[in-house]
Structure 1
Amino acid sequence: MKERRDKERADPVRTAAEWCLRLVENDMTISDRREFDRWCEDSSNAQALEEAMTTWYALDDLTEHRQIAELRDGAVERHRYRKYQGRAQRLIRPVAWLVSGGLVAFAAQLLIAGFLLQHQPKTYETGLAERRVAVLSDGSSVSLDASTKVIAEIHGKERELKLERGRARFDVVSDPLRPFTVAAGNKLVVATGTSFSVEVLSSDIRVLLYEGSVTVLDRPATTKSNKPALAESRKHLTQLAPGQQLILPTVGESILEPADLSKSMAWEAGQVSFANEPLVVAVERLNRYTSSRLEIGDEALQEIHVSGVFSTRDTAAFIEGLTTLYDVRVEKHGDRIVLKER
């Protein structure tokens, strides 16, 4: 018994892996339960067990990954094999299976699985008219506008995010040793501790700085990680100061201009604010909030620029203002609202 307790103290992770398997398989006698309770009285043992169980059940979310599913299923099968094959031997040496290679392997598998779980990219997404705030593992926060998708990888020395669509504000916890990067299209925004937003539109990408400082780089389209872009694109960079907005068109030169910070944050309060914006941009933004999709039916209307503040829940007010001030008429086709020249 003393030898067993010495081994348990020496390697609580392996012992926690054993108890995890036995709990999952409901493989415990009354005496086992008493021994388990005594073992859990040590806070470090209880912590090791909690981590093992958390990892085990978290694997349920990753069963579509073949390697992880095989690790989990293989551990159970080895445990069952030892259980039925070794009954007679355990009568003579009850603790022999504790130090078997299978349990050591399973303990290692739990650690590997935990590592894989921590390094899985995490996706944050909103639907129509939905907004949310997500707190990242490093303490930074992301405010997502409607119809927005952000993928984040926060681990080790890397804080890499990708804005696939929509608009998001990033409030970054300062860490000079871990630059915070946001990829959007073929651009990369690099920050350490700051507050900024990035928006992906069909016509351009927009970066707005609230406080701190950010640098915007070109990002090769074939780059999977944000790292190569940092090394390759330093000669194609733009630095922003607080209160500036950088507009990066898909065609043409970039524009660095002052921004109205209070109006630029209107979307976080359920409003959309336009300051001499092209109609095509206004329509694209409004479509994040409504199931009745707005469309521009005549190319001539793309020359219109609009200004004003509207509720994201009141597309009708925007259409009313548009048809009152400009030669625009509306055609409705099911859930489509087509804007045409009058």
Structure 2
Amino acid sequence: MEDLFELAKSGEVTPAELGYYFPAEFAPQDSMWLSWPHKEESWPGKIEKIFAPYSQFVKAVANAQKVNINVGSEEMKDFATKHLEAAGANLKNVSFHQFPTNDAWCRDHGPAFLINPKAEQKKVIVKWNYNAWGDKYPPYDLDNQIPIRIAEYLGIPYFKPGIIMEGGSVEFNGKGTLLTSTACLLNKNRNPHLNQSQIEKYLCDYYGVQNILWLADGIIGDDTDGHIDDITRFVNEDTVVTVVEENKSDENHEILAENLEFLKKMRLENGKQLNIVELPMPSPVIWEDQRLPASYANFYIGNEVVVVPTFRDKNDQKALDILADCFKGRKVIGIDSTDIIWGLGSFHCLSQQEPAVK
């Protein structure tokens, strides 16, 4: 055990070499990790409106599994507790941790949990570097420490690849395939010293995958430069849902049509074609003359629920019905994300799963 801590720190061995891999989100989870929202600049003029839907999100997941929430102070913990109580959340399943953050986007600044059921140490963390999507929103020094804080709290080793990577930029089927986008991972504001093949090696070494599939651009309004979790998501080992825009005059139409064509040509790690389920887009969500990255693909898969952002739109129910058909063993819950999306992300962006392992 101590040897693994030393190996991880030294960088002499990669998680993949030790048999670790990143499970699919639909695999069993120990908990969900969050960082309580507090940065007013992320929701200018609207932050007070997000706590109710955010708390409904916590409630939906905490009914059936643990939820860990990073907070910056006792005052923030009390504030969060008040909102969660008002929402009727099961506080017995909610734990707070005094791990201060700069912002709320735990998908990107949180730890990447890898597992190896056959190892003595069954769970490890990869601590990627984080620069707030290409240094767009400094400071991010506290966010950058969150994976280490959580690893130390859990008493598990952590690996430090030393490059920028965000959880929202990668999607997994848990069997060796990773889906991402060139718009984000090849953007020069992340790792300008690395080419595509070098980035692929990092993905294989530190996520334990063997097959990498590349889509192109992300949706309009996405300040992350094309995160995959707004576009295409695995719902089982060989099936993805991918958003499409039927309105040909919409800016997203061509982008998403191109990505759909890419998906049709892709092959999984076993050589099979992807099963593709098309998911509609909501009508444009505009606030203060800015188009926001509203997408039904930004859902969170919990042990018993799938929490889906909705936007007071005619396509809300259609999207929920499609996802309910994809997740027959889980309850699909739509929560109004019209205010949350002003922060340019939704439920998946705000959360990070911790897998269970026996």
TM-score (normalised: structure 2): 0.27
More helix by share: 1
More strand by share: 1
| Structure with greater contact order relative to length (CA < 8 Å, sep ≥ 6) | 2
TM-score (normalised: structure 1): 0.28
